[in-house]
Amino acid sequence: MEITFTPEEERFRARAREWIEANKPTDPPIENDLKARRDFDLAWQNKMYEAGWAGISWPKEYGGRGASLMEQLIWYEEFASAGAHEPSTLFVGLNHGGPTLIACGSEAQKSFHLPRILRGETVWCQGFSEPGAGSDLGGLSTRAVLDGDDLVVTGQKIWTSFANIAEFQELLVRTDPDAPKHKGISWVICPMDAKGIDIRPIRTMAGHQDFCEVFYDEVRIPRANVVGQINDGWRVAMSTLSFERGTAFLSEQVRLTRMVGELIELAKQTPLGGAAASAGDRTKRTIDDSDIGRRLAQMRAEVEALRAMTYRSVSRTARTGVPSSEASLIRIFFSELQQRVHALAMEILGPQILEWDADEQPITTALGTKRRRIRETWVFRWLLSFASTIAAGSKDIQRNIIGERVLGLPR
């Protein structure tokens, strides 16, 4: 049992830290300027690629770094600790689409798409959920009919982040309506500029517009874009989801630890009752309140335990070579902790949270463009945290997975 890293791993850490610190981009665009975010993320990705840091978990033969599990862990820790900009518009390509092609794609699919994803040339989005198929993803009904060398797709997808700035989509369609529901699905690469696609942004409760719904009206996609076999899409999709529950969440855990540190600082700086309170004891800091103090201490302990949990999970994966279903345990603990942390921020801040502008816009002044980034506000992060027990498998589904797959309870 060891909690330290080897000298070689520590050298890797030093190199990663040095490079990230020297190269991390500053001044990212505002939340709702999606076009600018796309350009910014692609440029950052390209910079990482040129320096040999792109695709940290991707095999070398596909242009990735082929880093060991420990190196991946170190990279994500350093990336998040440095507060480096997360290229979130590229998440699906780097962590879903790309890895799925690596696992199940044809040589032609791999050689076309993988370099483009890695070099920061294409944005991917996900077309899984539908209005009628959320937790019950297998019940999806967007249909695709084979017509010559094309699949003709008609239906609707929802919760598709960045659909309006993406080149490609990992799209699940029903190709055999008569088969049992998990047997009639295919996984297709959908070019987002195809005729018949209509994209409408959805505004979230946090005010931003990363989400879209996507409508398909007899969209023709070449049959060659099917990944794996026709009607084998469920298996292909599951290989994607296991990536999603793997190492890709490491850096958000490190960010949460940073967030708790920031929250402790916030409680030291904020008078009890909030800075904007007109009454109340202004001489007492929020951190001096015994209830707030204990809750912060509990959270500090919990983020530390989260790291230990992740280390144990990575240790297990390093032993067995496969991502473990225990990742669901971490996911539940992380997502609920994230919500508690942000809810406590609202209590610490008090009435000052009431003044907040969800409609962030660039404000042009004589001195240039002044921009307010809502992502840097506690209110935005708090509102965003509501998604963490819904996205990538709701907490209820995660608890089913733990109950059935980890504990072996009957369905």
**Residue of 202, 332, 346, 358 interacting with another protein (CB under 8 A):** 332
Active site residue 244: yes
x/- track of binding to another protein for residues 10-39 (CB under 8 A): ------------------------------
Helix (H) or strand (E) holding 157: strand 150-157
**Residue of 239, 315, 339, 377 interacting with another protein (CB under 8 A):** 315
Q: Which of 33, 78, 91, 85 is nearest to 376 (CA)?
A: 85
Helix ranges (DSSP H) in 93-174: 98-104, 107-119
Between CA 386 and CA 378 the distance in angstroms is 13
x/- track of binding to another protein for residues 142-181 (CB under 8 A): ----------------------------------------
Q: Which is nearer to another protein, 49 or 334 (CB)?
A: 334
316 binds another protein (CB under 8 A): yes
Using CB under 8 A as the binding criterion, the count of chain residues that bind another protein stands at: 54
Total residues found in the chain within this entry? 411
Q: Could you tell me which residues come within 8 angstroms of residue 136 by beta carbon, excluding any fewer than 6 positions away? A: none
**Residue of 179, 238, 275, 301 interacting with another protein (CB under 8 A):** 301
Return phi, psi of residue 126, to 5°. -110, 130
90 binds another protein (CB under 8 A): no
Which one is catalytic: 244, 302, 336, 376?
A: 244
327 binds another protein (CB under 8 A): no
**Residue of 48, 67, 70, 206 interacting with another protein (CB under 8 A):** 70
127: left (phi > 0), else alpha (psi -120 to 50), else beta? beta
**Residue of 116, 326, 362, 371 interacting with another protein (CB under 8 A):** 326
Nearest distance, CB of residue 315 and another protein, angstroms = 5
321 binds another protein (CB under 8 A): no
- What DSSP string describes 337-378? HHHHHHHHHHHHHGGGGG---SS---EEETTEEE---GGGSH
56 binds another protein (CB under 8 A): no
Between CA 26 and CA 39 the distance in angstroms is 14
178 three-state secondary structure? coil
Please report, in angstroms and rounded to a whole number, the separation of the first and last CA atoms in the chain: 36
290 binds another protein (CB under 8 A): yes
Binding segment toward another protein, per CB under 8 A, in 26-34, 58-66, 188-196, 392-400: 392-400
Between CA 255 and CA 381 the distance in angstroms is 12
Greatest C-alpha distance within the chain:
76
Active site residues: 244
Which residues make up the interface to another protein (CB under 8 A)?
1-5, 9, 70, 73, 264, 267-268, 285, 287-288, 290, 293-294, 296-298, 300-302, 304-309, 311-312, 314-316, 318-319, 326, 329-330, 332-333, 396, 398-400, 402-404, 406-411
